[in-house]
Amino acid sequence: MNRNARKKGQNRPRSGRERNNRRNGKSKGKSKSSGNSNGSTRASRVRLIQARPDMLRVRRSRLHGRGVFALRRIRKGTRVLEYLGDRVSHDEADDRYSHKPLEDNHTFLFIVNRSTVIDGGANGNDARYINHSCDPNCESLIEDRRVFIEAIRTIQPGDELTYDYQIGRDKEDPANVDEIYACRCGARSCRGSMLWPPKRKSRPRLK
């Protein structure tokens, strides 16, 4: 894996709402695969999201760069955005960002499955500006190989939309990788990093 091309959704747990095999993961979610072997999307099976400029606005964020903010009350369960961009292979995604310095923590790449990545930095939409939080008010969902952002609690006007990136770790990560991907969400549950927590070493059983 190209460590310069970090991808969201790398370590999403396989919960009751998570059924797709992902190599890298941004937030918890669910997947309903259409079963097409060629990786194409059957959009007719998934409800389209109409443009709603009265709902969201992109502006400067205290968390990181630009963020997406609610202009009005958004009810829990509302599907607010689809994560759009070029749909490419993992190798293509790695090649596109091979020039990135290791200290650059921006990532617009979102894993759909083992063969497809969405590059929100190319032909993307406002979903790419939704920032990470360890206590998010949204989550990502995958249906028919499309990625959606949905509110997991009611969001008030002026609130910033967030979700847990759950970016994966790599055995070749630099020692300061958590500093590079530092989280500043300020939540009580903040783990201090946008990366998924490292796996705990199993303790030997006492005889």
pLDDT in tens, 109-158: 999 999 999 999 999 999 999 999 999 999 999 999 999 999 999 999 99
20 in any annotated domain: yes
pLDDT digits (tens, 9 = 90+) for 45-98: 566 676 677 899 999 999 988 999 999 999 999 999 999 999 999 999 999 988
Instruction: Give the range of the structural domain holding residue 144, as residue numbers without chain letter.
Output: 7-180
96 in any annotated domain: yes
160 in any annotated domain: yes
22 in any annotated domain: yes
Is 5:167 a contact under the CB 8 Å cutoff? no
Count the domains in the chain.
1
Residue count of the chain: 207
192 in any annotated domain: no
143 in any annotated domain: yes
94 in any annotated domain: yes
Give the residue among 143, 140, 161, 173 at the shortest CA–CA distance from 29.
140
97 in any annotated domain: yes
Is 159:69 a contact under the CB 8 Å cutoff? yes
Is 24:167 a contact under the CB 8 Å cutoff? yes
CATH code of residue 49: 2.170.270.10
Helix (H), strand (E) counts: the chain: 2, 12
Give strand pairing partners of 160: 69
